[in-house]
């Protein structure tokens, strides 16, 4: 496979000041993407993941129940996990089954498959600073082996500040609908992620050091604005992962 094609994308950023600073469209959490009976149980992480994924599949004009998925997050349900650990050290040590159920890495992926009635395969992964890069690589491997299309969702909610001061802010989620090979009228063509020496853009360097899923910013910026074929970083490390991006001749907003 020479490339993946980007068919649609979405981004969610709950902080309004951060949201308007981004070089691509981003939206607040849309709680209507989650059924009312489930909404009160879900975390910021799951709500962001759903919001971004919904924008992406609608833009791509695809049905979510037909798409295999890859969900990637550095810290997963970190707020719920922190609450669980706080309860464990109390003398009574009573743990809510609901809290435990919602503390696992694949919470968002599981709820997505249930609410969308999707019986396609799904993966949930975490890879520290390389989480977005590994999500792209996982998507590449699946599309190379199986062909077709899939949904990639990368997200992280705000982390408890006392756990990692200066880390885990601001909350962000993005979603990509990807297809195997070069697809007509796609937004971008994305090459195989590989190790390289491209440096992350200075303007976003400190933010991505705090919130690694923001490594998606260069790719999303190209998706929104276009430009020439180039190699961009997809992880924040100095010697990290990168990918060759070739904007399609038919870009969003073009005539």
pLDDT of residue 199: 87
pLDDT of residue 108: 97
pLDDT of residue 249: 63
- Sequential pLDDT tens for the chain (255 residues): 999 999 999 999 999 999 999 999 999 999 999 999 888 889 999 999 999 999 999 999 999 999 999 999 999 999 999 999 988 888 887 888 888 889 999 999 999 999 999 999 999 999 999 999 999 999 999 999 999 999 999 999 999 999 889 899 999 999 999 999 999 899 999 999 999 988 899 999 999 999 999 999 999 999 999 889 999 999 998 778 999 999 876 444 332
pLDDT of residue 40: 86
SS3 176: strand
Task: Note whether 75 and 167 are within 8 A (CB).
Answer: no
pLDDT of residue 148: 98
- Taking the chain, what is the end-to-end CA distance rounded to the nearest angstrom? 29
SS3 199: coil
Domains of the chain: 4-185 (3.40.47.10)
User: What span, in angstroms and rounded, lies between the C-alpha atoms of 126 and 75?
Assistant: 7
Strands 149-156 and 69-72: parallel
């Amino acid at each position: 496979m020479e490339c993946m094609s980007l068919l649609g994308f979405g981004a969610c950023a709950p902080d309004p000041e951060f949201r308007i600073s981004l070089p691509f469209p981003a939206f607040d959490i849309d709680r209507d993407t989650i059924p009312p009976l489930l909404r009160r149980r879900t975390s910021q992480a799951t709500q962001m993941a759903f919001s971004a994924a919904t924008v992406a599949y609608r833009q791509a004009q695809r049905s979510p129940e037909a798409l295999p998925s890859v969900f990637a997050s550095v810290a997963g349900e970190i707020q719920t996990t922190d609450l669980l650990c706080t309860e464990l050290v109390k003398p009574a040590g009573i743990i809510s089954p609901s809290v435990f159920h919602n503390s696992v890495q694949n919470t968002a992926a599981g709820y997505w498959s249930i609410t969308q009635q999707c019986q396609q395969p799904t993966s949930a992964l975490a890879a520290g600073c390389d989480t977005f890069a590994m999500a792209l690589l996982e998507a590449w491997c699946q599309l190379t082996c199986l062909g077709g299309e899939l949904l990639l969702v990368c997200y992280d909610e705000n982390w408890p500040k006392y756990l990692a001061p200066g880390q885990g802010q601001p909350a962000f989620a993005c979603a990509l609908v990807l297809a195997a090979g070069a697809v007509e009228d796609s937004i971008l063509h994305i090459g195989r992620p590989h190790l390289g020496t491209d440096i992350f853009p200075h303007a976003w360097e400190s933010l991505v050091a705090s919130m690694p899923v923001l490594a998606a910013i260069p790719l999303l910026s190209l998706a929104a604005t276009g430009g020439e074929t180039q190699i961009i970083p997809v992880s924040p490390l100095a010697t990290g992962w990168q990918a060759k991006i070739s904007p399609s001749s038919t870009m969003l907003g073009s005539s």
